[in-house]
Structure 1
C-alpha cells in the first residue's frame, strides 16, 4: 500500500501512550491521527478520524477496551484492533471481538514488528478486495424470495450431494450453483478452499485444531460444527492465517 496507515492509541495511562507513540515512530508509514485516555473518548475519535488501526488498552475505567471493541463491531467502518495490555488472561476474549493481535506490556519491539507485518498484510488484502471484487451481493433463493447476501455475512459454504449450502451466523441457504463457480464469484473476498467440498471465510476462523494424519479441523464464529481441512490445504491455510 502506498498511503499512510492512520492509527489511534487508546490507553488511560499516559506513559503507555507515550511508549507506543515512541515505538511507532520507527515506522514511516504509520500516521498517528489521534490518542485518547478512555474508551468513551476513543470511540468518539474513531468516529471522527476513521483510523485504519486502533491500539487499545483493555483495563480502563467505565468503558473497557473489550467493551469498546464490541461497540466498534456495530460500525460500518471498523479499524483493525490491536489490544495492548499488561494482562495476558484476556487473550481469548480479545480474539472473540475480532482483534488482529494482542501485545503485552512492556512492549517488545520484535513482537510489535510482527504485529506491523500483520497489519500491512491485512490492509493490503482488504484494498485488493475492494479493487477486484466482482460482486457486491450474492443472490440466493429463500422460500420463493430472493435474498441478497453480503460476502462478509457468509461464514462458510459446502457442497452436499447436488446442492451448495451457504451458512451465515444464524441462517442456512441452499442453491444449485457448484462450489467452484461460487469460489470464482467470491474472488477478492477472504475465502479459502479447505477441502474439495468446503469454502471458508478466513475472517471468521477462530481455531485450527490438529486432527489425524496431517489433517486439521476449523472452528468458526458462531458455529459448533468443525470444518475439515485436508492435508493438501493445510500449509497454504497456515500461511494465509499468518501462523
Structure 2
C-alpha cells in the first residue's frame, strides 16, 4: 500500500525537515510540495494526493481556509496540520484533521501520525476495495461501452471531445479530460500534459525533446506522447524504483 502525500509550508527548511522524516517510511510517496495556499490548491486538484501535511500560516490563504475549501471536494484528502501554533488545534479538528503536529517536529510523534494514517487507509481500502470498480463507462451513440482501465493506452483532448485509445479500438467521448482523470486516479494513469493522460504501465521510453520537455514511447503505440517539463519530475517519481 502506498500513500500519496503533499507537504504545504511556506518555510523551505520546515518542508525539508518534514519530507526527510516522511521519506523514512516506504508506504509514503511525497508527490508534491507547495509554499502557499493558492499553489497548494492547484496541485491538490491536479494530483489528488491522499494526505496533505498543512501548515497554518502559509500566506494570504491560511491553512485553515485551505482545509475548509478542501472539505467541499467530492473526495477530499486527509489533512494533518503541521505547525508552530498550538492554539489552532480545536478549530483544525473541525475540518476532520487526522492529527496536529507541532514544530519542531518530534520523530516519535511523526511516527504515530504515519501509523495512524496507514491504519486509516488500510481500513478504508478493506471496506471499499479498488477491484469493485473495474470498468470505465463510455457513452457511444445510443449505447454504453465498458472498458477495462488496463486496456487503455492513453487519452487526449481534441477540440471539444476526449479521445480514448485502447489496444482494440479508439473511442470518442464528450467527458472532459479532467473528469476522466478523476475517474482513473486510483489506477495507473498520469497527466503528462494539459491535453494528455497516459497509462504508465505502457511506458517504454522517455526521450528529451526541447526546452525541458520530453516525449514518451508507449508499448504498441507509434505516436509519441508529449510530456510538459512541469510534469517530468513527478512522472519519473511515479515510474522509477
Per the normalisation by structure 1, the TM-score is 0.52
Q: Cα deviations across residues 53-77 of structure 1 (Å, max 9, x unaligned)?
A: 1000001211100000000011011
Matching of residues 40-59 of structure 1 within 5 Å: 40-59=38-57
State the distance in 2 between where 1:50 and 1:80 align: 11
Structure 2 SS opposite 1:92: helix
Structure 2 SS opposite 1:115: helix
State the distance in 2 between where 1:115 and 1:108 align: 11
Structure 2 SS opposite 1:9: strand
State the distance in 2 between where 1:79 and 1:125 align: 16
After TM superposition, give the deviation of residue 131 of structure 1 in Å. Answer: 2.8
Structure 2 SS opposite 1:28: coil
Tell me the matched-pair count: 131
Per the normalisation by structure 2, the TM-score is 0.53
In structure 1, the gaps of 5 or more residues are 135-243
2:13 matches 1:15: yes
After TM superposition, give the deviation of residue 29 of structure 1 in Å. Answer: 1.3
State the distance in 2 between where 1:131 and 1:59 align: 36
State the distance in 1 between where 2:35 and 2:114 align: 23
Pick from 27, 32, 35 the counterpart of residue 34 of structure 1. 32
Matching of residues 151-166 of structure 1 within 5 Å: none
Pick from 87, 90, 93 the counterpart of residue 88 of structure 2. 90
Structure 2 SS opposite 1:47: helix
Q: Cα deviations across residues 172-217 of structure 1 (Å, max 9, x unaligned)?
A: xxxxxxxxxxxxxxxxxxxxxxxxxxxxxxxxxxxxxxxxxxxxxx
Structure 2 SS opposite 1:7: strand
Q: Cα deviations across residues 101-127 of structure 1 (Å, max 9, x unaligned)?
A: 000000000000000111011111111
State the distance in 1 between where 2:43 and 2:54 align: 13
Superposed CA RMSD:
1.4
In structure 2, the gaps of 5 or more residues are 133-241
State the distance in 2 between where 1:23 and 1:128 align: 27
